[in-house]
A and B are shown apart, each in its own frame.
Chain A
């Protein structure tokens, strides 16, 4: 177990710059999830930590040791690949035992460790099979068993669940989290699935276009997004982000929101802002806290069973609300909506959070 640190890591492929200066600190024993849309550089970051790619600039540290130029085998890491990369010419037992045999662990110890890993992942009865005789889920378990059997200092996972069906994915993600707790290894986990990230992560690094947009606990990045990218990427339906005119006044700011106006008790700079509010934070009954009140027209309602998605119209501004209660109006009716001041996020037009 060890902490991992990236300093100013830049990676170029030909003319494109995949990573534009990544600074990241992964604490000892935590699960860091790299989250972002495809092409954001999360897998490249992981591969640089693994040593499968060399950065063009910047340094990678494991603890105090500079490992930037070390090959993968000298880093004491393990990895679960997106394709699992279980070797097809070896039986399951040999696959799991292989890393130990390379390290010249005595035969008795190898047997013990393989048995331990196989039990942990419930694949004891598969040890004598070839990978092509296994299902995707079973192969995935073999890949994880192979990764933990060496007791690595850092466990890297590259979208390990993306090739499983939805049900198995839900089951495996909590299992992986439990496993990590038991083994206590530092884990870096790449995914584009925000729910997976929320469940597994101690902290999430949200990435976009080769840069880290925000690092924080799942609650932090969800509740207090640092910019409009993070705000819009997390949550389903995603956060309402509305560009609006702002009028700074005396110790307050008035913001036009479609046909309505909200007043926030802070003086903001600039006359254009982006207002953000999560769908579930648009309330149909007043709360007991400081709040703003608006009038809106119900455009239409999607019923998802436990949740109802209410599409609202404030003049030419559209908002999406999510509620578990029966919505107060039907299509076409006018309703009053309430947003608590602490649920209002305000961003500069360039996307940076100002409130």
Chain B
């Protein structure tokens, strides 16, 4: 086979794989969004796609069933989770990136090991513990649990982000008049910001999507996934599609906006 045909063949194969992945993710997404707006009657009609659309089930879920409050709760929990896990994880990530200390590798491994505990097992004792210290059914309680889940990732990701900031640039800061805090805030942090924002986004979504802990720990203050798990999933299909839209749309929007902002930071295309 001459190189030209081989290249063309490769092109075809690649295009095929790309299309396959697009279809794999895109089609269910498109269908579920379409169905979310379908008229309940039209959804069950014998047509390839529903022919009549309306906002009935979306409106009902949001305003009558209480999804708006659930979205609010989810945002609050996710923001607290991002804030707490960065407050604790950022210094640890920096330490892992810049310093060699005894037990460094063991600690790093332990961070991953923590994630091996099934959440199910922690769930129940956590309910008991929260009841004792007055955190049960509170958003802070959920956020704390999410922070515990996100922290290992935040530490590992930020440590690799900080490793990506050349040491020279920090040393130049030290030579030209900065102390340790100044070097961190004026050199390291701005340069790490794109990566840190990405890891913040990741943490946000981790909390946004987490359903088990949120469902176990709350009763009235449900986050969105917990709310959907307990209410929408026990309802007819068209409510499930509407619930799906409500949970996916903000996340998609958030990622889309954040990405656009990240790519143009410092006029540099970020990896």
A contact set with B: CB distance below 8 Å: 50-52, 71-73, 77-79, 81-83, 85-89, 98-99, 102-103, 130, 132, 146, 150
Partner of A103, one of B172, B174, B177: B177
| Cβ-defined contact, A89 with B266, below 8 A | yes
Write out the residue numbers on chain A whose beta carbons fall within 8 Å of the beta carbon of B177.
73, 99, 102-103
A79 to B174, CA, bound (A): 10
| Cβ-defined contact, B174 with A73, below 8 A | yes
A103 to B176, CA, bound (A): 9
A52-B175, A81-B168, A83-B168 given; 4 more Cβ-contact pairs under 8 Å? A73-B177, A79-B171, A88-B268, A130-B267
| Cβ-defined contact, A81 with B172, below 8 A | yes
Write out the residue numbers on chain A whose beta carbons fall within 8 Å of the beta carbon of B175.
50, 52, 72-73, 77-79
| Cβ-defined contact, B267 with A71, below 8 A | no
Interface residue ranges of B162-180 to A (CB < 8 Å): 166, 168-169, 171-179
A132 to B191, CA, bound (A): 14
A146 to B169, CA, bound (A): 13
Q: Which residue of B is nearest A75, CB measured?
A: B175
Contact A83/B166 with A88-B191, A89-B191, A130-B267 known, Cβ cut-off 8 Å: yes
| Cβ-defined contact, A89 with B168, below 8 A | no
Q: How far is the CB of A70 from chain B (nearest CB, A)?
A: 12
A150 to B176, CA, bound (A): 9
Q: Supply 25 A–B pairs (Cβ within 8 Å), ascending by A.
A: A50-B175, A51-B174, A52-B171, A73-B174, A73-B176, A73-B177, A78-B175, A78-B176, A79-B171, A79-B175, A81-B168, A81-B171, A83-B166, A85-B166, A85-B169, A85-B172, A87-B173, A87-B187, A88-B268, A89-B190, A99-B177, A102-B176, A102-B177, A130-B266, A150-B176
Interface residue ranges of B143-169 to A (CB < 8 Å): 166, 168-169
A144 to B191, CA, bound (A): 22
Chain B residues bordering chain A, tally (CB within 8 A) = 19
Write out the residue numbers on chain A whose beta carbons fall within 8 Å of the beta carbon of B190.
89
Write out the residue numbers on chain B whose beta carbons fall within 8 Å of the beta carbon of A86.
172
A25 to B217, CA, bound (A): 70
Q: How far is the CB of B78 from chain A (nearest CB, A)?
A: 28
A82 to B169, CA, bound (A): 11
Write out the residue numbers on chain B whose beta carbons fall within 8 Å of the beta carbon of A52.
171, 174-175
Write out the residue numbers on chain B whose beta carbons fall within 8 Å of the beta carbon of A72.
171, 174-175
Write out the residue numbers on chain A whose beta carbons fall within 8 Å of the beta carbon of B171.
52, 72, 79, 81, 85
Q: How far is the CB of B185 from chain A (nearest CB, A)?
A: 12
Write out the residue numbers on chain B whose beta carbons fall within 8 Å of the beta carbon of A98.
176
Write out the residue numbers on chain A whose beta carbons fall within 8 Å of the beta carbon of B267.
130, 132
A158 to B166, CA, bound (A): 16
Q: Which residue of A is nearest B268, CB measured?
A: A132
Q: How far is the CB of B127 from chain A (nearest CB, A)?
A: 46
Write out the residue numbers on chain A whose beta carbons fall within 8 Å of the beta carbon of B176.
73, 78, 98-99, 102, 146, 150
Write out the residue numbers on chain B whose beta carbons fall within 8 Å of the beta carbon of A89.
190-191, 266
Write out the residue numbers on chain A whose beta carbons fall within 8 Å of the beta carbon of B182.
102
Write out the residue numbers on chain A whose beta carbons fall within 8 Å of the beta carbon of B166.
83, 85
Write out the residue numbers on chain B whose beta carbons fall within 8 Å of the beta carbon of A83.
166, 168
Q: How far is the CB of A128 from chain B (nearest CB, A)?
A: 12
Q: How far is the CB of B214 from chain A (nearest CB, A)?
A: 38
Write out the residue numbers on chain A whose beta carbons fall within 8 Å of the beta carbon of B174.
51-52, 71-73
A51 to B182, CA, bound (A): 17
| Cβ-defined contact, A73 with B178, below 8 A | yes
Q: Which residue of B is nearest A47, CB measured?
A: B171
A82 to B168, CA, bound (A): 9
Partner of B169, one of A50, A71, A87, A99: A87
Interface residue ranges of B108-142 to A (CB < 8 Å): none
Q: Which residue of A is nearest B170, CB measured?
A: A85
Write out the residue numbers on chain A whose beta carbons fall within 8 Å of the beta carbon of B179.
71, 73
Q: How far is the CB of A140 from chain B (nearest CB, A)?
A: 14
With most chain A CB atoms within 10 A of its CB, the pick from B166, B173, B174, B175 is B175
Q: Which residue of B is nearest A104, CB measured?
A: B177
Q: How far is the CB of B133 from chain A (nearest CB, A)?
A: 43
A82 to B172, CA, bound (A): 11
Partner of B168, one of A51, A85, A99, A132: A85
Q: Which residue of A is nearest B267, CB measured?
A: A130
Q: How far is the CB of A5 from chain B (nearest CB, A)?
A: 20
A99 to B176, CA, bound (A): 5
With most chain A CB atoms within 10 A of its CB, the pick from B172, B173, B177, B179 is B172
Write out the residue numbers on chain B whose beta carbons fall within 8 Å of the beta carbon of A77.
175
A51 to B174, CA, bound (A): 9
Interface residue ranges of B52-90 to A (CB < 8 Å): none
Q: Which residue of B is nearest A156, CB measured?
A: B175
Q: Which residue of B is nearest A103, CB measured?
A: B177
Q: Which residue of A is nearest B176, CB measured?
A: A99
A78 to B171, CA, bound (A): 11
Write out the residue numbers on chain A whose beta carbons fall within 8 Å of the beta carbon of B172.
79, 81, 85-87
Write out the residue numbers on chain B whose beta carbons fall within 8 Å of the beta carbon of A50.
175
With most chain B CB atoms within 10 A of its CB, the pick from A52, A83, A85 is A85
Q: How far is the CB of B176 from chain A (nearest CB, A)?
A: 4
A88 to B268, CA, bound (A): 9
A211 to B237, CA, bound (A): 80
A71 to B177, CA, bound (A): 9
| Cβ-defined contact, A102 with B178, below 8 A | yes
Q: Which residue of B is nearest A91, CB measured?
A: B267
Write out the residue numbers on chain A whose beta carbons fall within 8 Å of the beta carbon of B187.
87
Write out the residue numbers on chain B whose beta carbons fall within 8 Å of the beta carbon of A132.
267-268
Interface residue ranges of B239-271 to A (CB < 8 Å): 266-268
A150 to B177, CA, bound (A): 10
Q: Which residue of A is nearest B168, CB measured?
A: A85
Write out the residue numbers on chain B whose beta carbons fall within 8 Å of the beta carbon of A88.
169, 191, 266, 268
